[in-house]
Amino acid sequence: MRVLESFCVYSPASSPSASSLLKMKNKTIVLGVSGGIAAYKACELASRLTQMGARVPVVMTSGAQKFVQPITFAALTHEPVYTSLWPQNFDGARDQYNAMAHIKLADEADAIIIAPASANCIARLAHGLSDDLLSTLILATRAPILISPAMNPQMLSHAATQKNLQTLREIGYQIIEPDSGRMACEHVGSGRLPETDVLISHLRAVLEGHIEYSQRDLEGKTVLITAGPTREALDPIRFLSNRSSGKMGYALAEVAAKRGANVILVSGPTQLATPPGVTRIDVLSTQEMFDAATKHASSCDVVVAAAAPADFRPARYQKQKIKKGDASTQIVLEPTPDIVAHLAQNKRAHQIIIGFAAETGDGRSEAQRKLHTKNLDAIVLNDVTEVGAGFEGDTNRVTWITSGATEAWPLLSKREVSTRILNKIKEIW
């Protein structure tokens, strides 16, 4: 089906930034829309990408057309909307290329994003089915693919759906984690399609990083990355820790590996899958992370300390569970080893050591202090109380600080932050 364009583009109140426009201009972003109530949100995504200078062909499944008419996307993008593998009104040589839209779009795409991706769509992609246009297109392309699941929370958490998502991760597709909240079905939980700005942030990261990944510009380099929290045992049941999810460190590991680096990831306890091509060392306490990082640092060209190790541990471990009725409720703490300071103070001449400073408020003076007292080459500062930044989320807003410069970066996906950090490390080299 080919829907002709003849309408004006919707203009939201907010305008895209100059950097966003630059990354999207003249790019072909194929938007796949599968069946689900969140399909209406894809209209804003199509409109915003079009305003940012991208060409946005839309591919709709039969289920998606039950929620949004193809003519809506044609009006917003000024592009044909593709709904079937089979051409209509085929008239020989003039339209023979359009008869193979799955190949045409596969070759033209700079990136493909499926938003929303239903449970059915995810299952079909995970098993390599190709009996409609969207699934066939995915098999035919070599462009980076982003999948944004959106569905009922129970459907999302079902073991089959989670297994299918893991299969897609292993294939190399980027899964955009859904938001949580109240659903159209009145259930509350994870499964909402993220806001348009978040989807665009992921696209920007892919468009910026995909070129660099193909260059494999970090081949021959060994990068040590620490990630996640640590746990300091109080008794056999309780421990001290923090809210770190490990997503920032894992994003760094993923991007570094795709750019050709040999990556050693020293990880505290997380629920994240190991990025492809990364050597992962699991630890629990700060002392264990210190020991593992120290053991491997001497063979590395770069150390990026993205973990959030606990700063304190109980001075005395209780072998039995502390009872609520115990006479004393005071817990005496002692400092844990400062991992990045030790590595930086003992670094070799060729090594680059990057630290992270998770602060509340501005925090720049504290980050500057850490930069100099710990002998770091650079430090990445972020305010963990800011919306969209800090722990547990997929985005971050950071400030890159060296002894000679300070750069405040906008809200970006953690993958794009990773790309920028690695670009900065290349500049230091």
Summary mean pLDDT of the chain = 86
CA distances from 358 to 266, 305, 306, 322 (A): 19, 12, 10, 31
Which listed CATH number (3.10.450.50, 1.20.1180.10, 3.30.565.10, 3.40.50.10300) goes with 216-318+332-428? 3.40.50.10300
Residue with tokens 């159209």: 184
Q: What percent of the chain has pLDDT over 90?
A: 57
Q: Looking at this protein, which amino acid is placed at residue 10?
A: Y
DSSP state of 306: -
Consecutive H or E run containing 49: helix 41-51
Tens of pLDDT along 199-229? Answer: 998 888 788 765 444 457 898 999 999 999 9
Task: Give the bridge partners for 305, in sequence order.
Answer: 226, 355
Our CA angle for 343, 395, 283, nearest 5°, is 40
Question: Tokens standing for 93?
Answer: 């040589």
Q: Where are the alpha helices (DSSP H) in 92-186?
A: 101-108, 119-126, 133-140, 153-157, 159-171
Question: Tokens standing for 87?
Answer: 């051409």
Q: Write down the architecture of domain 18-210 according to CATH.
A: 3-Layer(aba) Sandwich (3.40)
The pLDDT of 166-177, averaged and rounded, is: 86
pLDDT class for 395, splitting at 50, 70, 90?
confident
**The pLDDT of residue 89:** 54
Q: For the chain, what are the domain ranges?
A: 18-210, 216-318+332-428
Rounded distance between C-alpha atoms, residue 43 and residue 73, angstroms: 6
The pLDDT of 313-319, averaged and rounded, is: 92
Residue with tokens 């072998």: 319
Question: Tokens standing for 251?
Answer: 């994003």
pLDDT at 101 > cutoff 80: no
**The pLDDT of residue 126:** 94
**The pLDDT of residue 345:** 92
pLDDT at 94 > cutoff 50: no
CA distances from 43 to 32, 74, 145 (A): 11, 10, 19
Rounded distance between C-alpha atoms, residue 252 and residue 325, angstroms: 45
Contact 340, 376 (CB under 8 A): yes
Q: What is the dihedral of CA 28, 33, 39, 45, to 10 degrees?
A: -10
pTM: 0.56
The pLDDT of 31-58, averaged and rounded, is: 95
Catalytic positions, written as ranges: 185
